[in-house]
Amino acid sequence: MKDDKTLTSTASRVTILDVAREAGVSKSSVSRFLDERMPKSDSETARRVRRVAAELGYVRDVSASSLRRGKTGMVGVIVPRLTDTVMAMLYESLAHAAARTGQFTIVATTGEEPGADRRAAEALLRRGVDGLILSTARAGDVLTDELAERGVPFVLALRTDGKCRSSVGDDCLGGYLATRHLIDLGHKRIGLIAGPSYASSATGRVEGYYKAMSEADLEVQEGWVQESTFGIESGGDAARHLMAHREPPTAVFAVNDNTAIGALSALTRLGLSVPNDVSLVGYNDIPIVSHLPTPLTSVRVPFDQIATSAIELLSAETLLQRERIRVATPSLIPRRSTSAFS
C-alpha cells in the first residue's frame, strides 16, 4: 500500500507545501532545509523534512527558484557551427563547466554569416538566458557594443576584440611554438596557411609565425602566407598555392587542424610525402589528428580551462580591466608529420 500511495502522490508534482504539511513545519523551513546552497542542518526537524521529502518524491523546482532570484540558470552559447570539431569541443567543455555551477547551456549557430550572430543572440535572449558566450567575434563587429549598451552579460570565447570579457588561448604563443618547432628541425622555407583575417585566433597565430621567423632571421617570401577559411577544402587550396611557388616551402604551419588535414590531402595528391618532402603542423589538436595515417603534429588548446574561465567571467560582478581577458597556455604535441630538414 505504501508503494501505491507513493505512486499516487508523485503522479502530480509534489510541492514544497505538501512537504511542509506532512512534516508539520512551515514552507520557509522546508525551503531552507532543502536548499542545497545552504549549510546542511543535522537537526531532528531538518532530518524529518528531508525524510518526508524523499518519501513523497519531492524534487526541487530549480527553474522556479531561479525565476524568483531573477535567474533562469541558462547560458546561451553562440558558435559558427557544431560540425566544426573545435566548436563542438568548446561547447561540450562549456556545458560541463556550466553544469558544475548548477547552470546549463543552450546553443545557437551562425554559419559564420555576417549578422547571424545578432539574430542568434536575440533568439537566445528571448528564451531567457542569463548571459551569452560568443565564439563568433569578428574584427569590426558592433554586436558586442550593442550588448553592452543593453546591459546583457556576455563573454567572448576563443576569439576576442581585445577589450570585452574574453577567455582565449595564447594564439600568438601557439603560432610561435609551431613555427619554432619547424625552425628547430632545420626548415628555413616555412609556409603559412593563415586562416581568416577577421578572427583574432587566426591573426594571433599569424603574429606568432612572423615573430618566430623574425627571431631566426628568416625571410618570409611573398606568396608563402595564404589566407584561408577554417575549412578542409580551403586548406587544400592553400597548400596547392604554396607548392606552386617558385621556391615552395619545405614545411607548412596551418593555423587550424581542418586546414592542415586539407593540406595533407592536397600534398598527397601532388605526389609529395609528409614529412619526407614537406613537414606539416596543425592547430587545436582535435582528436582525429592523432589517428591519421600520418599522425599530425599540432598545437593543443586547453578547451576545458578556456570554458571554465568563460563561465567564471560571465558570473563575475566586477572586474579590473586587466582581469577582463583570461589567456590559457597552449602546448605543442609533436607527431610524425614533422621531421628534420635534409
The whole model's pTM is what? 0.80
Q: Please state which architecture CATH assigns to domain 2-60.
A: Orthogonal Bundle (1.10)
pLDDT at 140: 82
* Helix (H) / strand (E) containing 290: none
Provide the residue ranges of all domains of the chain, joining segments of one domain with +: 2-60, 68-169+303-328, 171-300
* Residues 185-229 pLDDT 10s: 999 999 999 999 999 999 999 999 999 999 999 999 999 999 999
CATH, domain range 171-300: 3.40.50.2300
First-to-last alpha carbon distance for the chain, in angstroms, is 83
pLDDT at 39: 65
* Residues 293-333 pLDDT 10s: 999 999 999 999 999 999 999 999 877 777 899 999 999 99
* Sequence-separated contacts (24+) of 17-24 with Cβ below 8 Å: 18/56, 18/58, 19/49, 19/52, 19/53, 19/56, 19/58, 22/52, 22/56, 23/48, 23/49, 23/52, 23/53
pLDDT at 7: 34
pLDDT at 8: 34
**Which segments of the chain have a pLDDT < 70?**
1-13, 36-39, 60-70
pLDDT at 37: 54
Rg (CA), the chain: 26
* Domain at 68-169+303-328, CATH class: alpha beta
Amino acid at 160: T
The domains spanning 68-169+303-328 and 171-300 adopt the same CATH topology: yes
